[in-house]
Amino acid sequence: MFRILANILLILSVFFLPVYITVFLSLIFIFLFNNFVEAVFFGFILDSIYGSGSIFSIKFAYFITLLLFIFYTISFKMKKMLRISL
């Protein structure tokens, strides 16, 4: 139930909130839920809608997607050490 509410909140935040708030919410949900792959999908949507195509003078269109994927993979090891997940 909480995971569905988190997905609805992320869907709404993609369209109505600034990008940095949506990324922050995605990071929180990655660490709260097991296998929250939806965050990477929402990162792809953010990059598709709002992506500028360049970060730090480097042409890379999917920066937010890559960032959320890295945090998703790191969260596995951190969750084992911290033992938190819903």
DSSP state letters, 4-37: HHHHHHHHHHHHHS-HHHHHHHHHHHHHHSTT-T
**Rounded mean pLDDT of the chain?**
82
pLDDT tens by residue, 31-57? 888 888 888 898 888 888 877 655 555
How sure is the predictor about 19, in pLDDT bands with cuts at 50, 70 and 90?
confident
Extents of the domains making up the chain: 2-82
Helix H or strand E segment including 79: helix 63-82
Predicted local distance difference test score (pLDDT) of residue 9: 92
